[in-house]
Structure 1
Amino acid sequence: MRTTHIRSAAFATATVLLLGGLASAPAATADSGGKTQTLHDLARDQGRYFGSAVDNPELADTPYADLLGSEFGQTTPGNGMKWYATEPQRGVFDFTAGDEIVRYAQSKGLKVRGHTLLWHSQLPDWLNNGTWSADELRSILRNHITKVVKHYRGKVFAWDVANEIMNEDGTYRENIFYKTLGPGYIADALRWARAADPKVKLYLNDYNVEGTGAKSDAYYALIKQLKADRVPIDGFGMQAHLALQYGFPYQMRQNIQRFADLRVDVAITELDIRMFLPADEAKLAQQADWYGQVTDACLAVKRCVGITLWGYSDRHSWIPGFFEGEGAALPWDENLRRKPAYDAIRKALTD
């Protein structure tokens, strides 16, 4: 899960110039009525959803928002449901940003994933800078989860309840909740979310967990224990913020399967595949191959329920603002033209 999308004018100009001759034409897949099928249409035929995150300022970009509403079947608010936005003052809730995205999604027929109830980042100052006893923080956390989940009950189909709670070595991240409450806060958060909405799907969510390793092993052990303890846990979210320079997580399919074997759903929740700029034909081809492989990995496991891009166009991407010299991470370019990655996704969904 990442913060607000930041655009770079220099990056935008360079990408438009470079990719002008590299954007691909749409594949001609049509339904029985002759209408060209969208990515979501193709995913739905496979029993999945295909979606994209969106942030509130992007809804004002009408061509972008229109394409989002027509190509996808699901969306995730990039920032509007995070703690800093929903409870900016203790006990004072503001659902303006999240509600705007829910209304947009409803108008376009999109499902909404809730994101996120607790995370170590983007917490409001009053919470981050407070000195809390265990009882106080437990009450704050319970109240926040209860109020937010109840507000969106029936409007979201899943929640990222706890986000990025593990370090790379598989130890617990020492966030404000862990340091004050211990690891039991995770089970508590899941129980409180279930009490507030008995029908919503409850997820843990993190990055660098797509392949096997210490971090994904830690989540596997945690979910296994939560299931044994009868704690409500319905799914595991693999963010899939990938980068060409770090290699593809080739155990992804097997890793998805082992989580599915724990009787939880798996979702690809924040997919993007960045590269060092400038982009070129070889990098875009490799990127396309990876997008296809991620889609294949999800389709290979019945309990992999869907894929969400973290934004679908380089026009609104968080990557250039957080990874200097990197970008071109998404299947559409700055001008909303389809890149080779788009065709690779279509091919995987069609095959």
Structure 2
Amino acid sequence: MRTTARSRTRLRLAGALAAVLVAAGAATGPAAAAEDPTLADLAQRHGRYFGSATDNPELTDTAYTEILGHEFDQITPGNGMKWYATEPQQGVFDWSAGDEIVELARTNRQKVRGHTLVWHSQLPGWLTGREWTADELRAVLKNHIQAEVRHYRGKVFAWDVVNEAFNEDGTYRETVFYKTLGPGYIADALRWAHQADPRVKLYLNDYNIEGVGPKSDAYYALARQLRAEGVPLHGIGLQAHLALQYGYPDTLRENLGRFARLGLDTALTEVDIRMYLPADETKLATQADWYRRLTEDCLAVRRCAGITLWDYTDRYSWIPAFFEGEGAALPWDEDLVPKPAYHAIREALG
């Protein structure tokens, strides 16, 4: 078709108008749907992050990693930064698993939560297979913490420094560190991590501390003591591994608030909400309501920094392997299809 100067001008004006309409959100159809905000986008409007854990073996699943890189702005390595992976032999460090996830996050412009420096589980055999004097174990612990924190200095925004330090009744868990070094190992671990990276946020992290009760009271008392002594503690991580059969932690918002009043950040760090299988519409609706409430509770407390799913899909959930007959705990199903919980989170984030 032959075009004149006038028709070319009309075409340019029509193109410009279309561009304006698209920019204003007036476009319809698939192009507009592609611009829907992600969970991370919605959370950022509230000054929060919305993240997911991940693990190295699943990074070969491209359909999985596409959603992981698109929907979230924060990642936690599920296993790659734990002691057994990072120091498999005493004084011999292997950062490869953690580095792979840090590089993935850098590519996707996501921030990384370090997990975890001191934990009673998933320790290497060289550490658990012998007796230590207090001086020996203190040196081993300091060396491990400072080597790992220095390696990831500037690459992670927060560390779960000590993980799962208390029993359900609020007494100290009888770990190798507690039995050999006493309760002071927690303050020492925080100080050593702070020396290695003065800018990173340092957390204590645990499960079943979402509501007010003996275990969360123990963390509250310890946090108040550490803060009074000038120990560098910046936050409390509430794992939020919930289960429909135990009821929703109705005092979650109150609990987040009391830690905030101590001058601490909080975060929901390992969120999943499991159920007895098979899943059905009623259970999925209850689960969705809990995800909504959990998100709303975090948004209601200014110092709740963000929410991290303990992986986002049932395809890679840890639940079925550890809780017989339970599962379906996450907002995406095994086929990477969003469940009612996903839409409930979006609604809560507005």
TM over 0.5: yes
Which TM-score applies when normalising by structure 1?
A: 0.91
Give the CA deviation at 1:83. 0.2
1:274-313, aligned counterparts within 5 Å?
A: 274-313=274-313
Counterpart amino acid of 2:333? D
1:1-351, aligned counterparts within 5 Å?
A: 35-350=35-350
Give the CA deviation at 1:32. 5.6
1:88-126 Cα offsets, whole Å, 9 max, x none, are 000000000000000011011110000000000000000
Counterpart amino acid of 1:63? A
Say whether the 8 Å CA contact 1:160–1:202 is kept in structure 2.
yes
Structure-1 separation of matches of 2:81 and 2:334: 26
1:300-342 Cα offsets, whole Å, 9 max, x none, are 0000000000000001100000000000000000110010000
Structure-2 separation of matches of 1:125 and 1:331: 36
Structure-1 separation of matches of 2:24 and 2:178: 54
Say whether the 8 Å CA contact 1:202–1:234 is kept in structure 2.
yes
Structure-2 separation of matches of 1:247 and 1:129: 39
Give the CA deviation at 1:231. 0.2
Larger Rg: 2
Structure-1 separation of matches of 2:263 and 2:299: 17
Structure-1 separation of matches of 2:78 and 2:242: 18
1:181-230 Cα offsets, whole Å, 9 max, x none, are 00000000000000000000000000000000000000000000000000
SS in 2 for 1:315: helix
1:133-192 Cα offsets, whole Å, 9 max, x none, are 000000000000000000000000000000000000000001000000000000000000
Aligned twin of 2:4: none
Counterpart amino acid of 1:294? L
Count of aligned pairs between the two proteins: 321
SS in 2 for 1:287: helix
Give the CA deviation at 1:349. 0.3
Structure-1 separation of matches of 2:24 and 2:211: 38
Say whether the 8 Å CA contact 1:31–1:37 is kept in structure 2.
no
1:223-249 Cα offsets, whole Å, 9 max, x none, are 000000000000000000000000000
Structure-2 separation of matches of 1:298 and 1:60: 32
Counterpart amino acid of 1:291? Y
Structure-2 separation of matches of 1:238 and 1:348: 19
Counterpart amino acid of 2:334? E
Structure-1 separation of matches of 2:240 and 2:23: 30
SS in 2 for 1:114: strand
Structure-1 separation of matches of 2:348 and 2:263: 25
Counterpart amino acid of 1:190? L
Give the CA deviation at 1:131. 1.2
Structure-2 separation of matches of 1:268 and 1:260: 14
Aligned twin of 1:19: none
SS in 2 for 1:112: strand
Residue ranges of structure 1 left out of the alignment (5+ in a row): 1-29
Structure-2 separation of matches of 1:188 and 1:313: 37
- Structure 1 runs (4+) deviating above 2 angstroms are 30-34
Structure-1 separation of matches of 2:41 and 2:208: 29
Residue ranges of structure 2 left out of the alignment (5+ in a row): 1-21, 26-31
SS in 2 for 1:321: helix
Distance 1:31 1:156, change over 3 A: farther
Say whether the 8 Å CA contact 1:146–1:196 is kept in structure 2.
yes
Structure-1 separation of matches of 2:238 and 2:263: 16
Give the CA deviation at 1:130. 1.6
1:29-74 Cα offsets, whole Å, 9 max, x none, are x996552100000000010000000000111111101100000000
SS in 1 for 2:334: coil
SS in 1 for 2:218: helix
Say whether the 8 Å CA contact 1:275–1:283 is kept in structure 2.
yes
Structure-1 separation of matches of 2:146 and 2:278: 46
Question: Per chain length, whose mean CA-contact separation is higher, i.e. which structure has more relative contact order (CA < 8 Å, sep 6+)?
Answer: 1
